A and B are shown apart, each in its own frame.
Chain A
């Protein structure tokens, strides 16, 4: 688990599902984005893996954080892979609905469901 500011993250490789699970904790505000961006975009450029974001502990996200997700999605999409968002807290889920991110990102209730979704495709 790496830690800085109020942003922590951890990653777990699931080669059997061809996926990397990235767990984000804390706040994805401007400062959090500057800290997370290099690692996140590097993972998005992985050639062989889908990316699952576990947002169970993500308490806040602003437009910069949303922009980072968009960049990640574009990067992942270029390789024909998926970026799945899971375990969104209620205010952030509603934010995704307001800004119509629920139409762009597959959103799942849990990491297991996300892995199932990836396997089915």
Chain B
């Protein structure tokens, strides 16, 4: 490889890294992460945070409801992945449905925390939910069969949020990234200041 090619390659790598770093850390001017193992208190906590953010972002009642619901469904999916599938390998939809119906009254206590991260950008709110289980093909479980046993949660998530992406994580678990576009006239967006959130215990 001659010097010019080598220089060009190094430049590409460095500029790519700088773009990624800027995108990751400077596009989002406010971030807050939570993790929890206990489901009921955890989902209440993140819903409180979502409601608090929605009020500060001056979202209307429908949008606040949508945020609450999206966070609730994503966290419930993450919890169910561990509680009903435990440490099993990636499963099919049929295996997941069977396991959930069989163990509905006896979910396993999860031992890997669920992570929830709220990120605020110039015109977008991003919520990331990560479960530490073995993961499953969540996208495959979304259903518009409203009379069915499962699939409504995913369907609601994808309906209420502007963009939802599922990523299987190396080493286990699923990462759910949800984006919601925000009105540009929000006071917070103009001043870029988030008031204190409700105190939370992780």
Contact = CB atoms under 8 A, between A and B. Distances in A.
Contacts, number: 50
B147 A29 contact: no
Nearest to A101: B146
Contacts of A104: 146-147
A4 interface: no
A99 B152 contact: yes
B169 to A, nearest CB: 24
B68 A63 contact: no
Interface stretch (B14-22, B69-77, B119-127, B182-190): B69-77
Interface in A14-73: 29-31, 60, 62-64, 66-67, 70
Given A60-B65, A62-B76, A104-B146, A67 B43 contact: no
B105 to A, nearest CB: 9
A100 interface: yes
Contacts of B39: 30
Interface string B39-76: 11001000000000000000001100100110011001
Interface in A56-107: 60, 62-64, 66-67, 70, 74, 90-92, 94-95, 98-101, 104
B12 to A, nearest CB: 45
Interface of A: 29-31, 60, 62-64, 66-67, 70, 74, 90-92, 94-95, 98-101, 104
Given A60-B69, A99-B146, 10 more contacts: A29-B72, A62-B72, A62-B156, A63-B73, A63-B152, A64-B76, A66-B152, A90-B62, A95-B69, A99-B155
